[in-house]
C-alpha cells in the first residue's frame, strides 16, 4: 500500500523504467528521417528480422550492427576531428618539446603554416599523431581527449564537437537497441580517442568501440600499474582492417552495417556476404546548406568505389539532403 507522496513517485519512476522498452517500440521510429526509401527499408528490415514467427527472424545474439564513426555518426569536415585534436595537442604540449619550434611538421603547426603542413603530407601527419597519441598512459590520453572536447569548438558551427553528431543516426542507434541489436563502432580512428566520449554521446560502451590502436605496454611506475601507449601501431582499422577486427574482436559477422566512404567498403562487403537477411547502408553527403556536399573527389571521406558498389549491389544510400529532416540535435 502506497502511504506517502515519496513512495508514489518512486513507484511511478519504477513503472516508467519498466515500460521504457515498450514505449520505445511503440513510438514512431526514426522521427528525423523523411518517409523515403531509406527509412522505409530500415524499418522493414528491423521489423522482419525481429518479429516472432518471421521467416527472416534473427536470433538476439546474432543481431550485430556495426557503424563507422567519421562521416557516418558525426561530421568529418573540414578535417577529421581527431586530426584537429592532434594539432591542438601539439600547441598544448609544445612547452615540453622546445625542439618542435624548429622541427617540421611541428613548426608548421605552431606557426599555423598550412602550406608547410600540407607539404608534410601523410608522413608528417603520422609524426603528429604519434607525438600526441603515444608515450603516455591510456588514462592520461583519455583525460586529454575529454579536456579538449570540453573546450574545443567546431570552426564553422562554433559548437562542441560532440554536438556535431547526426540526430537521425542517434535515433537509428536507439531504434536498433530497442529491438535488441548490439551496436558496435568500427572506425579508422584511434580507439582511445573514441572511447573517451562514445558512451556519453552514442550510448556505445568502451568494449563495443573498435578502432585503430597503438601497442600497449604494461608497466609498474612508482607503485602504479599502467598501460603505456607506445608509438608502434598495432592495427590500422581501415579498409580490410575493419572486417579483420570484427572477426577478431566480435566473433560474429554483422547483419547490419553503415559507412560513408571507401574506407568502409570491405566492412560493408563482409556484412552483405553473410547468410540470411542483411542491411548495408551508406551515408551520402549531399547537403551543402546544412552540412557539406562531397563524395568521389574529396580528400576527406572519399566516397567513390563504395558508391559504385552500393549501386551495383542495391545497398541503401542515404541522401542527407533528401532523406533527413534535420542533421544535428541542435537544428
pLDDT in tens, 87-112: 999 999 999 999 999 999 999 999 99
- Check residue 20 and give its pLDDT: 53
**Which one-letter DSSP state was computed for residue 217?**
E
Q: How confident is the model at residue 246 (pLDDT cuts 50, 70, 90)?
A: very high
Do the beta carbons of residue 141 and residue 200 sit within 8 Å?
no
Q: So what's the pLDDT on residue 223?
A: 87
Per residue in 129-181, pLDDT (tens digit) is 999 999 999 999 999 999 999 999 999 999 999 999 999 999 999 999 999 99
Residue 73, SS3 per DSSP? coil
Tell the residue number behind the cell numbers 560513408, with chain if given. 260
Domain boundaries, given as residue ranges, for the chain? 26-78+160-323, 81-151
C-alpha cell recorded at residue 48: 522482419
Is residue 11 pLDDT above 70, yes or no?
no
3-class SS at 72? coil
Split at pLDDT 50, 70, 90, the class of 199 is very high
Helix (H, G, I), strand (E, B) or coil at 294: coil
DSSP letters of 85-131?
Answer: HHHHHHHHHGGG-GGGGGSTTHHHHHTT-HHHHHHHHHHHHHHHHHH
Interval 47-69: pLDDT, tens: 999 999 999 999 999 999 999 99
Residue 221 banded pLDDT, cuts 50, 70, 90 = confident
For residue 16, what pLDDT is reported?
53
Give the H or E element holding residue 11.
helix 5-26
Distance CA 254, CA 174 (A): 17
Those residues with Cβ within 8 angstroms of residue 299's Cβ, 6 or more apart along the chain or in another chain: none
Q: In this predicted structure, what is the pLDDT of residue 313?
A: 98
Q: What is the pLDDT of residues 249-282, one digit of tens each?
A: 999 999 999 999 999 999 999 999 999 999 999 9
What is d(CA 219, CA 263) in angstroms, rounded to the nearest whole number?
Answer: 34
Q: Are 266 and 70 in contact (CB under 8 A)?
A: no
Q: What are phi and psi of 173, to 5 degrees?
A: -60, -45
26-78+160-323 placed in CATH 3.40.50.1000? yes
Average model confidence (pLDDT) for the chain?
A: 94
Strands (E), the chain: 64-67, 136-137, 182-190, 209-221, 224-235, 256-259, 279-284, 316-319
Is the pLDDT score of 7 beyond 80? Answer: no
Mean pLDDT of 184-211: 98
Residue 159: what pLDDT?
98
Interhelix angle 265-272/305-313, nearest 10 degrees: 20
Helix (H) / strand (E) element for 84: namely: helix 81-93
Residue among 263, 319, 317 at smallest CA distance from 291: 319
Cβ neighbours, 10 Å, residue 100: 19
Contact indicator for 152, 144 with CB cutoff of 8 Å:
no
Q: What is the pTM of this model?
A: 0.91
Residue 23 has pLDDT above 70, yes or no: no
- Tell me if 285 sits within 8 A of 291, measured CB to CB: yes
Please give the grid coordinates belonging to residue 84: 584537429
**Range with the poorest average pLDDT among 16-20, 167-171, 184-188, 309-313:** 16-20
Per-residue model confidence (pLDDT) at position 4: 62
Amino acid at each position: 500500500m502506497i502511504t506517502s507522496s515519496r513512495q508514489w513517485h518512486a513507484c511511478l519512476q519504477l513503472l516508467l523504467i519498466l515500460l521504457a522498452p515498450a514505449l520505445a517500440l511503440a513510438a514512431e521510429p526514426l522521427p528525423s528521417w523523411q518517409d523515403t526509401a531509406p527509412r522505409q527499408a530500415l524499418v522493414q528490415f528491423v521489423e522482419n528480422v525481429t518479429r516472432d514467427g518471421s521467416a527472416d527472424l534473427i536470433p538476439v545474439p546474432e543481431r550485430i550492427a556495426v557503424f563507422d564513426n567519421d562521416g557516418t555518426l558525426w561530421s568529418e569536415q573540414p578535417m577529421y576531428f581527431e586530426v584537429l585534436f592532434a594539432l591542438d595537442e601539439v600547441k598544448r604540449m609544445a612547452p615540453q618539446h622546445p625542439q618542435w619550434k624548429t622541427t617540421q611538421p611541428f613548426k608548421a603547426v605552431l606557426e599555423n603554416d598550412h602550406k608547410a603542413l600540407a607539404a608534410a603530407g601523410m608522413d608528417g601527419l603520422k609524426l603528429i599523431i604519434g607525438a600526441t597519441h603515444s608515450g603516455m598512459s591510456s588514462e592520461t590520453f583519455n583525460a586529454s581527449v575529454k579536456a579538449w572536447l570540453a573546450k574545443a569548438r567546431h570552426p564553422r558551427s562554433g559548437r562542441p564537437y560532440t554536438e556535431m553528431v547526426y540526430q537521425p543516426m542517434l535515433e537509428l542507434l536507439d531504434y536498433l537497441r530497442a529491438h535488441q541489436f548490439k551496436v558496435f563502432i568500427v572506425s579508422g580512428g584511434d580507439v582511445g580517442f573514441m572511447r573517451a566520449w562514445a558512451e556519453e554521446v552514442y550510448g556505445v560502451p568502451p568494449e563495443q568501440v573498435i578502432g585503430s590502436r597503438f601497442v600497449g605496454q604494461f608497466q609498474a611506475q612508482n607503485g602504479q600499474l599502467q598501460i603505456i601507449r607506445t608509438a608502434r601501431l598495432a592495427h590500422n582499422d581501415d579498409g580490410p582492417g575493419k572486417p579483420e577486427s570484427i572477426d577478431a574482436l566480435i566473433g560474429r559477422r554483422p547483419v547490419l552495417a553503415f559507412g560513408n566512404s571507401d574506407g568502409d567498403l570491405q566492412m560493408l562487403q563482409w556484412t552483405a556476404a553473410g547468410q540470411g537477411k542483411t542491411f548495408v547502408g551508406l551515408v551520402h553527403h549531399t547537403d551543402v546548406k546544412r552540412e557539406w556536399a562531397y563524395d568521389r573527389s574529396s580528400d576527406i571521406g572519399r566516397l567513390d568505389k563504395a558508391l559504385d558498389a552500393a549501386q551495383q549491389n542495391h545497398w541503401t544510400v542515404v541522401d542527407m539532403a533528401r532523406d533527413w529532416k534535420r542533421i544535428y540535435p541542435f537544428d
